Every structure is written in C-alpha cells, then in structure tokens.
Amino acid sequence: MSHQDDHRARELHQSSIVIDAHSDILIPVTEGKMSLDQRVQLPDPQTWEPPLGYDIGPLADFGMSAHTSWFGCMGQYDLPRWREGGVTAQLCAIYLDDEKLNNPFHRGMEMTWHLHREIERLDELVLATTVADIRQAKQDGKVAIVFSFEGCEALGANARFIDLYYKLGLRVVSLTHTRRNLFADGCWAAEQQGGLTNAGKALVDRLEELRIVVDLVHIGERGFWEILERVSRPVILSHSTPTMFPNSDPDSRLAGGALPRTRLELPRDRPMLEAIAKNGGVLGLIHVTHRNLSEVVDDIETALDVMGDDHVGLGSDHYGADFAPEGLEHIGKVPAITEELVRRGHSDETIRKFLGENLLRVFEATWGE
C-alpha cells in the first residue's frame, strides 16, 4: 500500500462510525473470568493446561481445543481492543450453552445484570438504545454497547418477558441458535427442519411492535423465509456463521472437526443474500474460521457483488485462537479490513457503509432516531 493510501485508510477509519454486529464476550464476563476494561492476555495454547477434570465435551467434535472452549472470545474483545480498533458500537449477545438451559431465564437475567454493571462501572461505555446514542458515543469517543439475543432461550417458557428485556435495553433479537426451541428450528436442529411455531410467529409480531431489530442468524432455512415474509422492516443477519451457510464439501471442513469453514459461495447462497438485500437488510461478514484477512475481504467482496454496498457490514464473532484469521486475530485489528478495502480500490462511500452506516440505517428504520 502506498503512503497516500495508508493515510487515506487511517483517516477514513478514524472518522467513520464502526459497528460490529456480534460478540459473545458477555459469557466470560458473567463467569467472572474478566472485566471489559481489562486487556486480556491469554496464556500460550501450546503450554496452557486446562483445570483439573475439565471436559469440553461435544465441542471437541467441532475441532475446538480445551483452550478455546475455556477462554472463548477472551483476548479478542475488551475496551482497550475496541478503542484500538476504532469501534463505535459493539453488539453484545446473550447466548446460553446447552448446560445453562435448566434455568434459562435466570441465566439471561444474570448476563443482563453483568452487562449493566459493566456499563455503569466504566465511563467509557454507554448502553445504546437509539441511533442518537451511537452517534453521541462517536462524538464523545466512547464505545456504545447494543444489547442483543442470540436465540431466545433467555425468555424461558414465557415470551412476554421480551417486554422486560426491552426495558432493560434489548434492541436486536434472533429467535434461535442452531438448536430447536419454543419459537423455531435452528439451522442444525434436525435433518427435517420446521419453521416458526405459533409462539415464534407471535414473538416476531411482538418484536415488530416493540421496534426490536430481527436477526436472521442461525435460523433454519424454512424459518428464514417465513420471517422475511412476516416482517415489515429491514432485518440483519448479524454474522455469516458457518452453520448458517453449511458446506458439504469435505475440503471446506476445519482440520479435526465437523465445523465448515465460512465461505460465501455462489450460486448456493445467492437466493438468501438477494432476499436480505431486497428486504433492505444487512449481512454481517464474520471473521471466525477464515484463514486470513484476505479471505475475509474476499467474502466481503462476494457479498458486495451480489447484494450491493447498502447491505453489507461487520459481524466478527471472534471465538478463540483456534479459529482466528491471520492478520485479524481480534477486534482491535479491524482497521486492517479498511486498509485492504482501500488497497483493492473500493470507494470511501462503500467502505463507510460497510463499517457502520448500513447497520445504522437499519437501526434507524426500526428504532427511530
């Protein structure tokens, strides 16, 4: 990259609103392993020993090491790295592992409490419930946290609790993770997948009434289309997860596991991508499981070609050293994406839209200013 391009990329990134659409950092925060103001430095995976008796269970089937299972996305998201990456707003999700489903509402409330505690404790963080909050965070040099659900298990058996979570700041919701729940089938729920249940249809309607952004991530294919037919406002697909776009090609699988590498492929993914664009929505491009920065930007360009530059954004979903791309190991390295997009000849307008303006547009269409 020339000196001129380097200067342009740096100025462009620093002046842009940067929004990342997915992180699981609330899990280690809730487990007491870290605080958001800590720049976590993880031990070397080659020398680290897991706690005595620790069993990662079925996660090993997906090629996940004990190190990644234990630390999760620690060392990849925290306030110092958000600042380093020029991040204006970070979506932070509540996700419940299978072993937490015995009392899901309690777990959801526990994670919500920790989210609010960190925001109240740290002056550099703000809870964003409006677009104005995100713009103000940019102006003030703070990081806005957008509260989201990755699956609605945290509602327990009572969908009415969505109103309570809304009052606590919830603004983005996906109905499922990969499994089946009360509301719909996730994308790996079963070989024969169903779509939305009656409860799921009612929940989507309530999300619309509350003006909560609907996230299509991890939903099964039938549910994907049913939601798009039901909503009246733009949606997001927060992170283009490998479980959302499965690949049966053995060459696409990660070494030692069944988890496919993330890779948008045409014509396989074209109908879904075009449908999101037609809805006015935004696809968040994931970082995890790509080999390197160049592969991530290849996917960004594939999405740009199919969807247009109004419909593509950031959706990092970093989760452990095992799956981190070379050159993009944590959220602090997001400026490298801007540099590569500049090097490949993309316009300032396209890059600003990708970095955050597209997601901001969807938020404004649903939340209002």
DSSP string, 336-359: HHHHHHHHTT--HHHHHIIIIIHH
For the segment 202-217, what is each residue's pLDDT rounded down to a tens digit? 999 999 999 999 999 9
**Is residue 105 assigned to a domain?**
yes
What percentage of the chain carries pLDDT values higher than 90? Answer: 81
Residue 120 within any structural domain of the chain: yes
Task: Residue 119: give its domain's CATH number.
Answer: 3.20.20.140
pTM, 2 dp: 0.96
Answer whether residue 110 shows pLDDT above 90.
yes
Has residue 50 been placed in a domain?
no
Q: Quick one: pLDDT band at residue 245, thresholds 50, 70, 90?
A: low
What are φ and ψ of residue 90, in 5° steps? -125, 125
Q: Is 56 domain-assigned?
A: no
Domain total in the chain = 1
Instruction: Categorize the per-residue pLDDT at 247 as very low, low, confident or very high, splitting at 50, 70 and 90.
Output: low
- The answer to the question of residue 334 being in a domain is yes
Please give the residue range of the domain that contains residue 98.
3-42+61-367
Task: Report yes or no on 330 lying in a domain.
Answer: yes
pLDDT tens profile 80-95: 999 999 999 999 999 9
pLDDT at 313 over 80: yes
How does pLDDT run across 12-52, given as a tens digit for each residue?
999 999 999 999 999 999 999 999 999 999 999 889 999 88
Contact 122, 78 (CB under 8 A): no
Higher pLDDT, 67 or 59: 67
C-alpha angle 335/341/346, rounded to 5°? 135
